[in-house]
Structure 1
Amino acid sequence: MEESLIYSEKGYRFWFRVRPVFKKLLRVEVSGTENIPEKGGCIIASNHRSNLDPFVLNVISPRPILFMAKEELFKIPVLSWLIKKAGAFPVKRNGRDIKAMKKALTLLKEGYCIGIFPEGGRAKPKEFKNPQSGVGLLVSKTEAPVIPVRIEGTDDVYPVGSKFPKVGKSIITVRIGSPIEIDRTADYREISKEIMERIKKL
């Protein structure tokens, strides 16, 4: 199926030209980009410790990643405009968000790359949170490959409470694993745990 455009094509063309500057500025080191499929629907599942994480993932990804973002961000005027142009869509963090789930499944069928944070929110520095069950529910309803990603260092560069990133303070490492083999008939809570464990092991 041909993809329906839901983000700024000109914006992403410009972004892909300038992002090497941000990669160097933020001292991002990445391995495993070959594990992200060049085309077709896929899910990027990453740990989450900083608001910088979605930005960094789109710095290193060979294709645009459309993120589920907490609905509160869409109430901030300038930021809301920017993330909409990047293709982000809102999700409610408390309980199951059926609308966001349907949106994600539609985008996956149309061939987009969706970014999710199984923990549902930022973890404390150097730690991991338990995954949300909704992630497993989403994965159980699609055959799209799930690519585990582990990010380290963003919580040093842009910790919770900071107004601006502390550029150059720490190297940011991104490790991208091979697609996870998942039994999609399993309980969705177990699927969530399995995905989180694969992220931790990277």
Structure 2
Amino acid sequence: MSLFLKYSDMWDMDLGGRDRSREIPHWFGNLAWIVIGGLCKLLFRYRVDNRQKLRAFQGASGALVICNHTSFFDVVFMYLAARPKQWVRLMGRDTLFGNAGGLLGQILSRVGAFPVKRDTADMTSIKRAVRMLKNDELVGILPEGT
């Protein structure tokens, strides 16, 4: 796998599901989990209750993970909740992926996020999420996002 993948290529790659033939490289996601998870543990002392409920889906079926979106940190904590054994494929606003000259898009894509166009019937994102669920992956949706 190449170190320099286009972030749009990663949206349709697998991440921890049943099919591992074309998978997003895990090195960046693991590094992000260690750094961000460590900082959040230190600064916010977060904890995950009922993690075993997420683990019950591992290898059995995909699942939608849905959470209120009241702050920027909701996305971070949803990502951290399933790690280190599982990945949550987060659905994010498409305009986020072009921020910071595409750097944010690269970061988000490497941890498994994919874009959704707001205020439209974005069938591409829906089909992408359905494929991920059929591949036994967790798909995270924060419906109150801005």
Would you call these one fold, judging by a TM-score over 0.5?
Answer: yes
Please tell me whether residue 47 in structure 1 is matched to residue 68 in structure 2: yes
Tell me the residue number matched to 1:176: none
The C-alpha deviation readout for 1:91-120, integer Å capped at 9, x for no partner, is 01102210100000011111211100133x
Corresponding residue to 1:83 among 89, 101, 108:
108
Corresponding residue to 2:79 among 34, 58, 81:
58
Counterparts of 1:27-46 in structure 2, within 5 Å, are 27-36=45-54, 37-39=57-59, 40-46=61-67
**TM-score in terms of structure 1 length:** 0.54
Distance 2:71 2:92 in 1: 13
Tell me the residue number matched to 1:141: none
Percentage of identical aligned residues: 26
Write the letter of the residue equivalent to 2:64.
Answer: I
**TM-score in terms of structure 2 length:** 0.72
Q: How many residues align?
A: 121
Superposition RMSD in Å: 1.9
Q: SS at the partner of 2:48?
A: strand
Tell me the residue number matched to 1:7: 24
Write the letter of the residue equivalent to 2:89.
Answer: L
Write the letter of the residue equivalent to 1:13.
Answer: N
Which has the larger Rg? 1
Distance 1:116 1:6 in 2: 21
Counterparts of 1:143-158 in structure 2, within 5 Å, are none
Higher share of residues assigned strand: 1
Compared CA separation, residues 117 and 4, structure 1 to 2 (3 A): farther
Query: Does the 8 A contact of 1:3 with 1:112 survive in 2?
Result: no
Structure 2 unmatched runs, 5+ = 1-17
1:85 CA displacement: 0.7
Distance 1:7 1:50 in 2: 27
Distance 2:122 2:21 in 1: 23
**Structure of greater relative contact order (alpha carbons < 8 Å, 6+ residues apart):** 2
Q: SS at the partner of 2:80?
A: helix
Distance 1:24 1:99 in 2: 38
1:15 CA displacement: 3.6
Compared CA separation, residues 7 and 50, structure 1 to 2 (3 A): farther
1:21 CA displacement: 4.2
The C-alpha deviation readout for 1:12-57, integer Å capped at 9, x for no partner, is 3334444244323222132111110233311101110112211111
Write the letter of the residue equivalent to 1:110.
Answer: N
Distance 2:23 2:95 in 1: 20
Structure 1 unmatched runs, 5+ = 123-202
